[in-house]
Amino acid sequence: MKSGFARSRLTSLFSLVALTLGLAVPLAAPAQSAGKSVVTSERVRAELMAHAPDGIGPGKQVWVGLQLAHQPEWHTYWKNSGDSGLPTQLQWTLPAGVTAGDIAWPTPKKIPIGPLANYGYEGTVLLPVPLTISADYKPSVLSKDLEVKLKGSWLVCKKECIPEEGDFTLKIPATSTTALNGPAFDASFAAQPTPVTGASTVKVDGNAIRVSVAGLPATARGKTLEFFPEPAEVIETSAQWTQAWQGDVWTAQVPLSPQRSQSPDVFALVVAQGAQSWRAEAKVDGGWPAVAAAAGLSPALEAALRGNAQTAAAAPAGPSLSLVAALIGAILGGMILNLMPCVFPILAIKVVGFTRHADDQRGHRIAGLAYSAGVVLSFIALGAAMLALRAAGEQLGWGFQLQSPAVVAALAALFTLIGLNLAGVFDFGSFVPSSVSSMEAKHPVANSFLSGVLAVAIASPCTAPFMGASLGLAIGLPAWEALLVFAALGIGMALPYLAASWVPAVARLLPRPGAWMETFRRFMAFPMFATVVWLVWVLGQQSGIDGAGALLVLLVAMSMVIWAFTLRGRSRSVAATIAVASLAFVAWAAGPYVTRAQAPATSTQASGPWQPWEQSRVDQLVAAGEPVFVDFTAAWCVTCQYNKKTTLANPDVLADFTAKKVVMLRADWTRRDPAITAALQQLGRNGVPVYVFYRQGRPPVVLSEVLGVDEVRSAIAQL
């Protein structure tokens, strides 16, 4: 019977190789840009984005834009910043034959700062710019992609103001593969004002201007409108002004600024009502009063702004109590992680290993220590990789590796091999040199260590109670403190196994080795195959039905190679040659479908009462006084899927949502989505699931990761 377990010793060695190759794929794969497309500060996450649904070529529609995701209470400015502030500036470096137009500014909001009134943006805003590609454009000989470089600068303010800037580089593929940014650009286009169809007039009347706008839609008539003048330093932004409707014509009288610095011949303005806005412009009638000298940005103000930036950069980290709380939460979360559904497959390997050492207390303890070391070091390694990538500009969160289709496919292959091995289809020893097999037999403790590595690979997509807040806090801590939190998470996960291996009473409770172990070992193949089914489904959410089908074909071809090498005699050579050739052909033909990423269906289509999430949509609904519930989820998160099929599908919960008129939004994080990552970070979270209620005038209410019906209904009742 020992030989059966000896044959499975190389399982962990093979797992480590496959896991290492799988984790290397997303780390080595190029991002959307060849250079740096994201710049992150403590206040703003800035990303250069592109939208070219028809590809690159003369006469084709190409858009680029800078997306600014603000931390809560911070804002940047519109083209006319109002009483203070500075508009965002974009300086482009483009190939010959490509020219950039002006920013297509979305409609701003009025932001009062004490007695002042500014115009700007909070939350997430995309500033799109059209690119004109002429017939003179010649792509590079080495690459057909269009390389865009941007130097952006923006002033971000809360109570203090801090100037920020960034250099961005983005390569736009020549083929139409950048449509993934389409929703962000569509939302920005929808937030831009619509030109009015009627005639408008602007007349100077002493120290005021009289504005009349015709052609506004009937839905706006009779309602109070917001007024945003495009020329800066012309009107008294914070002064009281009057407006009225004369039939279907909107009129306003707005006082001029005593510090007016310009006298435009054409006056453009934007009026808004709720989420709708309209733009009008008219030739100015009448003579302007004398203007004041241009104010500009004084050296004293500029020095103050730079001082604010240095003060903010030198802000101390959170208090030590926060670190202690994060460490305690991480240990508790790691312990609970053992009970999460995503960890169940690895329990099969651990049960077999513990039973094997039932009569060997010393071996039992060594195995427990080795397993714990594998878990803790793997958590530290994952945490270090995530922190390093975030420092390089990537917007990542917990479970980031499973946002890569290549990693999902590698794990599916790994678990197929483990399942076939446990089922007795093949022996790992027959595929490796005898020297490797004997070396492995001399170092059985390595199996326990590598099983800890495998456990972390499977458990990492899950977020247990206490774990979410600790990980969210860890991202804002200095690197060494953040790594302590990840280490504490590993200690918590390994603690039950470590205690069991060192407490003799627990060891005596384990069943004695016997013939039943071979049957149990073969039975444990089925949880592995169930995990493969789940991973194929996850890949289907990322790469579509063609990607899932291609992965199944690859797994069948791989299984055929395994079968061929189990044969004996001449048939083995013939069958193995055919099988390997078939696997190579299938990998060549089906590989691109497996690794190809597309927008998940749940991100673009509503499902029942659920609507797709966008940060701008949340902001609009909350501003209109509507309660909002957001489900931050991912296909690879087993806890998310369990909550979705149980609590969030409960008829009583859905009835309460309807009764309270709660708008239900679903944010799908199956693929990497920087906007969702930024929203999670604002909530103090770094992984899914996250469930949150938003309501006007109140802070967001975040529910627990393992969601219960009573908890959700209680939160709804308090709206």
Q: Which amino acid is at 108?
A: P
Annotate 313-341 with DSSP letters as a single string.
HTPPPPPHHHHHHHHHHHHHHHHHHTTSG
Domains and CATH numbers, the chain: 2-31+319-595 (no CATH), 38-177 (2.60.40.1250), 207-285 (2.60.40), 601-717 (3.40.30.10)
Q: What are phi and psi of 147, to 5 degrees?
A: -95, 125
Contact 578, 389 (CB under 8 A): no
Model confidence at 575: pLDDT above 70: yes
Model confidence at 693: pLDDT above 90: yes
Model confidence at 600: pLDDT above 50: no
**pLDDT at residue number 400:** 53
Please state, in angstroms and rounded to a whole number, the distance separating the CA atoms of residues 580 and 574: 10
Convert 62-124 into a string of H (helix), E (strand) and C (coil). Answer: EEEEEEEEECCCCEEEEEEEECCCCCCEEEEECCCCEEECCCCCCCCEEEEECCEEEEEECCE
Mean pLDDT is lowest, of 2-16, 64-78, 663-677, for 2-16
Contact 256, 208 (CB under 8 A): yes
Model confidence at 284: pLDDT above 50: yes
Q: 297 or 677, which is more confident? A: 677
Assigned token pair, 116: 């002042």
Query: Which residues 6+ apart lie within 8 Å of 307 measured at CB?
Result: none
Assigned token pair, 105: 């500014």
**pLDDT at residue number 427:** 67
Model confidence at 678: pLDDT above 50: yes
Number of neighbouring beta carbons within 10 Å of residue 461: 24
**pLDDT at residue number 360:** 59
DSSP letter assigned to residue 355: H
**pLDDT at residue number 443:** 56
Average pLDDT over residues 692-706: 87
- The pLDDT tens digits of the residues spanning 256-273 come to 887 777 788 889 999 998
Average pLDDT over residues 156-169: 85
Average pLDDT over residues 1-20: 38
Query: In a 10 Å sphere around its CB, with 0-12 CB exposed, 13-18 middle and 19+ buried, how is residue 362 labelled?
Result: exposed
pLDDT band per the 50, 70, 90 thresholds, residue 146: confident
pTM: 0.44
Q: 512 or 635, which is more confident? A: 635
Average pLDDT over residues 344-366: 60
Mean pLDDT is lowest, of 42-56, 72-86, 122-136, 600-614, for 600-614
**pLDDT at residue number 300:** 45
What is the percentage of the chain residues whose pLDDT exceeds 90?
17
**pLDDT at residue number 129:** 94
Q: 368 or 505, which is more confident? A: 368
Mean pLDDT is lowest, of 358-362, 500-504, 587-591, 645-649, for 358-362
Model confidence at 553: pLDDT above 70: yes
**pLDDT at residue number 488:** 84
**pLDDT at residue number 314:** 39
Please state, in angstroms and rounded to a whole number, the distance separating the CA atoms of residues 679 and 72: 10
Query: Which residues 6+ apart lie within 8 Å of 531 measured at CB?
Result: 345, 415, 458
Assigned token pair, 235: 């009107």
Model confidence at 205: pLDDT above 60: yes
**pLDDT at residue number 182:** 80
Of 636, 632, 337, 634, the residue nearest 464 (C-alpha): 337
Model confidence at 680: pLDDT above 50: yes
**pLDDT at residue number 341:** 56
Average pLDDT over residues 666-686: 78
pLDDT band per the 50, 70, 90 thresholds, residue 310: very low
**Mean pLDDT of all residues in the chain?**
76
Average pLDDT over residues 278-301: 68
Q: What are phi and psi of 646, to 5 degrees?
A: -110, -85
Average pLDDT over residues 196-207: 87
Of 398, 78, 121, 97, the residue nearest 268 (C-alpha): 78
Model confidence at 240: pLDDT above 70: yes
Q: 578 or 13, which is more confident? A: 578
Mean pLDDT is lowest, of 270-279, 327-336, 619-628, 656-665, for 327-336
- The pLDDT tens digits of the residues spanning 110-128 come to 988 767 788 999 999 999 9
Average pLDDT over residues 527-546: 80
DSSP letter assigned to residue 607: B
Please state, in angstroms and rounded to a whole number, the distance separating the CA atoms of residues 25 and 16: 14
Please state, in angstroms and rounded to a whole number, the distance separating the CA atoms of residues 355 and 564: 32
DSSP letter assigned to residue 566: T
**pLDDT at residue number 296:** 46
**pLDDT at residue number 25:** 36
Average pLDDT over residues 53-58: 81
Model confidence at 454: pLDDT above 80: no
pLDDT band per the 50, 70, 90 thresholds, residue 13: very low
Convert 238-303 into a string of H (helix), E (strand) and C (coil). Answer: CCCCEEEEECCEEEEEEEECCCCCCCCCEEEEEEEECCEEEEEEEEEECCCCCCCCCCCCCHHHHH
Average pLDDT over residues 696-717: 88
Mean pLDDT is lowest, of 169-173, 224-228, 303-307, for 303-307
Please state, in angstroms and rounded to a whole number, the distance separating the CA atoms of residues 281 and 297: 28
